[in-house]
């Protein structure tokens, strides 16, 4: 059963970004619904993980979470960020062993 894209809690004003420390953050979708309908996610090691992303969102909805922070935590595993702050991406850089603003200068300048 697919999530009802008309009832995604907190979806308005959400943007979904991909960042893996290998290049600048990329805006993938302007909403969670857009992530589910317009984006294919592939992993270098695991191949197409789009259905896994759909399952994560479906589970989040089915358990009545509605708390965007919970979904953000689940999507982090896939290097996906919902409305990321510069601090969140700088923390990712720290995990990747990169300088604080490596690959992030454009993102930080646009967020200001």
Output DSSP code: residue 18.
E
pLDDT at 100: 93
Instruction: State the residue range of the domain holding 99.
Output: 16-106
Q: What does the pLDDT look like over 3-51, one tens digit per residue?
A: 455 555 555 578 999 999 999 999 999 999 899 898 888 877 888 999 9
Confirm whether 93 is domain-assigned.
yes
Q: How far, in Å, CA of 6 to CA of 8, rounded?
A: 6
User: Do the domain assignments include residue 98?
Assistant: yes
29 in helix, strand or coil? strand
Instruction: Tell me the whole-structure pTM to 2 decimals.
Output: 0.83
Question: In this prediction, what percent of the chain has a pLDDT beyond 70?
Answer: 86
Asked if the structure places residue 53 within a domain, the reply is yes
Total domain count, the chain = 1
């Amino acid at each position: 059963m697919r999530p009802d894209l008309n009832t995604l809690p907190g979806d308005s004003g959400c943007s979904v970004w991909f960042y893996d420390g290998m290049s600048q953050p990329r805006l993938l979708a302007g909403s969670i619904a857009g992530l589910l309908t317009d984006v294919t996610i592939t992993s270098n090691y695991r191949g197409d993980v789009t259905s896994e992303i759909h399952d994560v969102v479906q589970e989040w909805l089915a358990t009545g979470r509605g708390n965007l922070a919970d979904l953000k935590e689940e999507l982090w595993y896939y290097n996906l960020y919902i409305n990321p702050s510069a601090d969140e991406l700088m923390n990712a850089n720290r995990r990747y062993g990169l300088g604080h603003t490596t690959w992030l200068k454009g993102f930080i300048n646009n967020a200001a």
